[in-house]
Homo-oligomer: A and B are copies of this chain.
Amino acid sequence: MALAMDRDELAEFLDEAFPQVKGDFAIEALDEDELVVRLKVEERHLRPGGTVSGPNMFALADVGIYIAILARIGRVALAVTTNASMDFMRKPAAGADLIAKIRVLKLGRVLAVGDALIYSEGDDRPVARASMTYSIPPQAMG
């Protein structure tokens, strides 16, 4: 699917749309097939034991799929998550950033769907899988 924003525009949008997590995420790569987003893991993202908590993996998938959709439909800060499904498959590695590889699977008139595989940096076995649906407000599609 054609892109409406390049990587720098998307990074700027990310900071504006999610000021509460500014600096947590970085856009590693963006093309028509895939968006790669990094969670820069800090102490505050961890559970006791040193691995990234479920809510922070949820946030990575949710923010990542959301901005992957927005990269295609443009600056519309109003789409809302309506469904999320996640499988937590392995314990993330301690001390490693998380890398989410994201695909947009559907971009419809009222619904958009994407999925993500999340990895600990440096390990090619996914730690989590997520799929999310967003409801797109009527004005968003022009």
A residues lining the B interface (CB < 8 Å): 19-20, 46-48, 53-56, 58-59, 62, 80-91, 105-106, 108, 110-111, 113, 115, 117, 125-126, 129, 131, 133, 135
Contact = CB atoms under 8 A, between A and B. Distances in A.
Given A55-B56, A90-B106, 6 more contacts: A54-B62, A55-B58, A55-B62, A58-B84, A87-B105, A110-B135
Nearest to A62: B54
Contact of A83 (B47, B62, B88, B108): B88
Contact of A87 (B48, B58, B113, B125): B113
Nearest to A127: B106
Contact of A81 (B54, B85, B113): B54
A126 B62 CA distance: 21
A110 B86 CA distance: 18
B135 A85 contact: no
Closest 9 CB pairs of A and B: A85-B85, A89-B106, A55-B59, A55-B55, A58-B58, A84-B86, A83-B83, A55-B58, A87-B113
